[in-house]
């Protein structure tokens, strides 16, 4: 997955460079139109009462997103238009750390039998890493406003949009101590490459507000991380900074 991310970023940079070269003689098209967007975010979960209160996420959760956008000015005088519509394509990677290990409930007497649950990790155990990571192929759509559309980067910007994602990879990693069936404490290192009951699609609104090539950005999923009635109703969100260029 790390190699996939590197390749994708390279394609974004190459594509943006080609577009800038093709439009170098056009004063309007050469203006920066937020073609490439890179985001560094804090990621989290909006948890409902199905998740035990004892399970909590960490402050160092993080998300990295990268998108290639196509800016389409609206109106007859495109060079003076403050409004634009921008579809795009990219990926979103979320890394959530918590004090609960992901598992499937095998207790036939339980109300959550065969569902995804999170088991609390006792404070007495030494935990080095406990992470659930998801990567989505994502299509963002934005309606954009610029205060000065004819000024290179010297403009206030607001973008309201929607993002639709398809799950590419989901995995859970754990490195630390655990108690075996005999009550003994062992050090283990596990990586689950297949997470059952996780939703393949997600969607939700986004908002970017900023000046020049830097913006504050937020996203909130309207769909649950897990399929309905097959896991806790968790809705991912992210908030952070976006760097908009090319």
Residue 25: band (very low, low, confident or very high) from pLDDT cuts 50, 70, 90 = very low
Q: Which strand (E) or helix (H) includes residue 133?
A: strand 127-146
What phi, psi does 188 have (nearest 5°)?
-135, 160
- Average pLDDT score over the chain: 85
Q: How far apart are CA 155 and CA 124, in angstroms?
A: 53
Three-state secondary structure along 87-120?
A: EEEEEEEEEEEECEEEEECCCCCCCCCCCEEEEE
Task: Say which residue, 5 or 137, is predicted with more confidence.
Answer: 137
For residue 185, the tally of other CB atoms under 10 A from its CB is 12
**pLDDT tens across 125-184, in order?**
999 999 999 999 999 999 999 988 766 667 899 999 999 999 999 999 999 999 888 888
pLDDT beyond 80 at 92: yes
This prediction's pTM: 0.84
Q: What is the pLDDT of residue 30?
A: 44
Q: How far apart are CA 150 and CA 165, in angstroms?
A: 33
Q: What is the pLDDT of residue 191?
A: 92
Q: Residue 90: which of 8, 193, 33 has the closest Cα?
A: 8
Q: What is the pLDDT of residue 8?
A: 54
What phi, psi does 78 have (nearest 5°)?
-65, -35
What phi, psi does 28 have (nearest 5°)?
-75, -50
**pLDDT tens across 9-22, in order?**
555 555 555 444 44
- Mean pLDDT lowest for which of 25-29, 31-35, 84-88, 92-96? 25-29
Instruction: Give the DSSP letter of residue 10.
Output: H
Q: What angle do CA 51, 54, 55 make, to 5 degrees?
A: 55
What share of the chain has pLDDT > 70, as a percent? 83
């Amino acid at each position: 997955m790390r190699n996939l991310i590197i390749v994708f970023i390279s394609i974004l940079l190459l594509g943006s460079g080609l577009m800038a070269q093709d439009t170098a003689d056009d004063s309007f098209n050469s203006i920066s139109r937020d073609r490439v967007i890179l985001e560094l975010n804090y990621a989290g979960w909006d948890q409902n009462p199905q998740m035990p209160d004892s399970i909590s996420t960490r402050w160092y959760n993080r998300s990295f997103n990268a998108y290639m956008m196509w800016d389409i000015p609206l109106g007859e005088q495109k060079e003076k238009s403050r409004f634009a519509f921008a579809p795009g394509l990219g990926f979103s990677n979320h890394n959530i750390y918590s004090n609960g290990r992901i598992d499937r409930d095998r207790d036939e007497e339980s109300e959550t039998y065969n569902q995804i649950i999170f088991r609390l990790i006792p404070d007495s155990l030494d935990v080095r890493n406990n992470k659930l990571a998801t990567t989505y192929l994502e299509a963002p759509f934005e309606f954009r406003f610029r205060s000065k559309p004819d000024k290179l980067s010297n403009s206030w910007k607001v973008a309201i949009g929607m993002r639709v994602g398809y799950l590419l990879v989901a995995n859970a990693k754990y490195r630390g101590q655990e108690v075996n069936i005999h009550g003994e404490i062992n050090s283990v290192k596990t990586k689950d490459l297949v997470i059952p009951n996780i939703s393949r699609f997600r969607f939700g609104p986004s908002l970017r507000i900023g000046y020049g090539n830097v913006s504050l950005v937020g996203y909130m999923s309207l769909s649950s991380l897990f399929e309905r009635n097959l896991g806790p109703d968790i809705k991912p969100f992210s908030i952070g900074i976006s760097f908009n260029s090319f």
